Structure formats: structure tokens, C-alpha cells
């Protein structure tokens, strides 16, 4: 967020007031990673953030009292703008009212794996772990590799390079605006709603005394109290150039190409549609209005916000997929589609399944010795009623046959 200041006289005291553009544009949300020019707002303390949250959800369960502290603790360890991750959490959960598919007892604060149509998504053992999972997922979007991530979804997306080509398109630090466009590609309001939440915090509680100033000192292990009152967040500038390399915590390593781990049938394969047709409908996310966000009566859970991408009908929640523009499950009647999916092996099987009068041919990479087990697992999760129609020594041979069977596209 580029924060500009102007003096404002109030009761004879000069205050610095953060100005936010009336119409938040795509460049306004800050970079995901912290740096010398992109620090977390000083007024964004656990005490103020929780006061802001409780104003909008007066019935907030007391078990969330330390939620802001968890975001600060894990956020500083990971070097991430955790204040904006907190705002995203508010948007995703509807101020922790959980009106969508995700339930409160899952400790899932970003809808990880909740891909719509009743899919609950991942479950984490406690609030701290759930916060860590959210922040690690955000770090992953920034282009940094998270070692041993908490969330299975984060691990799958990393191992299969789902975001790699997208990330390589940036010559500057990736921002929360970039994240929002990828996270909720069908929503025109996701970025603006995050901006609205941030603006209301910075123009409200940010300028009020911290109700629990001792929390910052406790988290950082310092003596004394945190700054009790700051009128506005520090000025930050969204850089158009890559920032200088900085020391990163042990949990994060520089992006590097790694061979995908060998998957088993219990893991989620990477799935890609190769020949989408013009008849296929683009994936659209339900848009959340600002008023709905403020009333905390609906959440972004129903947006299928988590890396929306094409999957065969019946795909399991939390699948790590390669996003393809305008490539949802095929719906054209009497047509066919060719997909690829992989458990990491060198052999390939063609699986045929019919859904809504559309014949789907999936070229599934399988591991030698586990062909039947992995094919059965894929059919059970992705291609109900399907069957293997051929086994090949390589994916290229299987693809040639698949496009003979389905020359469309």
C-alpha cells in the first residue's frame, strides 16, 4: 500500500493521516514480503487488530483472543506483511462468522482446500497452526519456497510448480493485489474488499490507543510496552523493481527448481485440461460486496477462491492443479476432452470417463508396480465410473492415442 500523509489539525494537535485512494486500483495493495520500504504498519498491533475484529463481530468466541498475536508472531518469523494477511482472513471468514463451507473448528483461516460445492477444505490442529498454514500459503505466492509447509495444498502447489510460470512473469516483488487476482480470478471485488477492510482499520483503530500494548513486547521478547498510540501506519512504497536480497528465516528458501516428489495414490495428482473448447464456461467466483463484508453475514468461502482451475467433474477438494484460462470441467454435449494427470511415474494409462454427455480421456502418469492402485485411486476421486482403456510406456505415446480417440480441439 502506498500511504501518503498530510497534516490535519484536530483539537490543536497536528496528526498524520493516512490517505487511501477513493477508488482502490490494482497497484495499491503492498508487496507480500516485508522489506526496508515495506514494513508492517506500526499501528497494526494484535490489540488493535483484535479490537477492530470484535467491533464487527461482537459475538467473537474468546478462543480467538490471541489470534492477532499468532499472526504477528508467525508473520514476523516468515518475513511477510501479516497485517494484510489478517485483513484477508477477515474477508475469507466473514469476520470469523464462517457462513460458507469452512467451519470454525477447522482452524482454516484462508479457505485452503475449500473449492466450493460443499468441500470443507483442510483442518488444522489448533489456531496457531492454522495461522501458520495461511501465512505459509501467502509466502508461497510471493515466489519463495516454503520448506515442509503445514498445509497439504501448499505442498502440492509447490511440488507441482502450479504457480511457477505465473511468478516468473514478475520483475518486481509480488503484491497482495497480484495474489488476489490469482486467488480469486473470477471476482472483480476481492482486491477492493481487502482494500476496504484495510482502509477502515487504518482510518479507525489505527489512530486509537492500543487496548493491549503489552502483546507486542511479549511476542518480541522485549521489556516494556509497545507504542500505545500511533496516528497512522508508516509510509510504504510499492516498488516497481525487485528489492535487494534479504536474509530470510530458515523455513523459507529461495525459489529453486526441484524434481516433484514421487506421489502415491493417497496424494493428489496434478491435473490439466489440454483442449478446452469455446463452449466451456469460464470459472467465476461469487463476488462479495463491501456491505456484505462489513455486515459479516457472508464469506468468501463460496467463491471457490483457492486457486480456481479446471478439474474433471468430481475432482477432490484440495487438488493441486495447473490453472488454465477458461478451462473448467467440460459441459458441451456430445464432446470430448483430453486431460493429463500425474502421480510422478514414467508410465502412462488412459482413463476414459463420461460425464454429462462429455467423454473425458485422462492420460495418467503412474509409477511402475503401482499402476492399478494409482489408476483406481484416480478413478475413485476424479472419474467416477471410468475405466482404463490403455497402458503405455510413456506419456507421449499415451497422448498420441488420446488425441486419436478425441481429435477435438
The DSSP-derived string for 69-80 is: HHHHHHHHHHTB
Cβ atoms of residues 324 and 276 within 8 Å: yes
Helix (H, G, I), strand (E, B) or coil at 347: strand
Q: Whole-prediction pTM value? A: 0.55
**pLDDT band for position 65 (cuts 50, 70, 90):** very high
C-alpha to C-alpha distance for 214 and 65, rounded to whole angstroms:
14
What does the pLDDT look like over 381-392, one tens digit per residue? 788 889 999 998
Average pLDDT over residues 90-117: 92
**pLDDT band for position 276 (cuts 50, 70, 90):** low
What does the pLDDT look like over 178-228, one tens digit per residue? 999 999 988 889 999 999 999 999 999 999 999 999 999 999 886 444 443
81, pLDDT greater than 90: yes
pLDDT at 64: 98
Give the lowest-confidence range in 38-42, 126-130, 269-273, 289-293: 289-293
Average pLDDT over residues 97-104: 92
Which phi and psi (to 5°) does residue 31 adopt?
Answer: -60, 150
Average pLDDT over residues 54-70: 97
Q: Per DSSP, which regions of 4-56 are E strands? A: 4-10, 13-19
Amino acid at each position: 500500500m502506498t500511504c501518503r500523509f498530510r497534516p490535519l489539525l484536530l483539537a490543536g494537535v497536528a496528526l498524520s493521516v493516512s490517505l487511501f485512494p477513493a477508488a482502490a486500483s490494482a497497484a495499491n495493495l503492498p508487496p507480500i514480503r516485508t522489506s526496508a520500504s515495506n514494513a508492517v504498519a506500526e499501528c497494526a498491533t494484535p490489540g488493535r487488530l483484535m479490537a477492530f475484529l470484535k467491533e464487527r463481530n461482537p459475538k467473537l468466541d474468546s478462543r480467538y483472543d490471541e489470534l492477532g498475536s499468532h499472526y504477528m508472531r508467525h508473520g514476523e518469523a516468515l518475513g511477510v506483511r501479516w497485517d494484510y494477511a489478517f485483513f484477508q482472513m477477515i474477508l475469507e471468514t466473514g469476520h470469523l462468522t464462517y457462513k460458507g463451507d469452512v467451519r470454525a473448528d477447522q482452524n482454516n483461516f484462508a479457505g485452503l482446500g475449500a473449492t466450493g460445492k460443499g468441500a470443507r477444505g483442510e483442518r488444522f490442529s489448533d489456531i496457531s497452526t492454522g495461522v501458520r498454514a495461511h501465512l505459509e500459503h501467502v509466502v508461497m505466492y510471493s515466489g519463495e519456497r516454503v520448506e515442509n509447509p503445514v498445509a497439504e495444498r501448499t505442498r502440492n502447489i509447490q511440488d507441482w510448480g502450479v504457480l511457477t510460470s505465473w511468478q516468473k512473469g514478475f520483475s518486481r516483488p509480488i503484491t497482495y493485489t497480484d495474489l488476489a487476482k490469482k486467488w480469486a480470478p473470477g471476482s472483480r471485488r476481492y482486491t477492493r474488499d481487502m482494500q476496504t477492510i484495510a482502509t477502515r482499520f487504518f482510518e479507525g483503530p489505527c489512530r486509537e490507543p492500543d487496548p493491549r500494548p503489552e502483546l507486542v513486547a511479549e511476542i518480541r521478547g522485549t521489556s516494556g510496552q509497545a507504542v500505545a498510540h500511533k496516528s497512522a501506519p508508516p509510509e510504504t512504497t510499492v516498488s516497481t523493481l525487485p528489492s535487494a536480497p534479504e536474509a530470510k528465516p530458515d523455513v523459507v528458501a529461495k525459489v529453486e527448481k526441484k524434481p516433484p516428489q514421487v506421489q502415491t495414490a493417497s496424494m493428489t495428482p496434478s491435473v490439466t485440461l489440454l483442449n478446452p473448447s469455446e463452449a466451456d464456461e469460464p470459472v467465476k467466483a461469487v463476488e462479495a460486496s463491501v456491505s456484505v463484508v462489513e455486515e459479516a453475514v457472508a464469506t468468501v468461502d463460496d467463491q471457490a477462491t483457492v486457486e480456481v482451475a479446471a478439474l474433471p467433474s468430481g475432482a477432490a477438494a484440495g487438488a493441486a492443479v495447473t490453472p488454465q484460462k477458461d478451462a473448467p470441467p467440460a459441459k458441451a454435449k456430445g464432446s470430448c476432452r483430453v486431460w493429463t494427470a500425474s502421480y510422478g511415474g514414467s508410465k502412462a494409462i488412459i482413463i476414459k470417463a463420461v460425464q454429462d454427455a462429455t467423454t473425458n480421456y485422462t492420460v495418467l502418469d503412474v509409477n511402475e508396480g503401482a499402476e492399478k492402485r494409482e489408476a483406481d485411486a484416480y478413478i475413485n476421486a476424479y472419474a467416477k465410473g471410468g475405466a482404463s482403456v490403455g497402458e503405455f510406456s510413456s506419456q507421449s505415446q499415451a497422448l498420441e492415442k488420446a488425441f486419436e480417440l478425441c481429435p477435438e480441439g
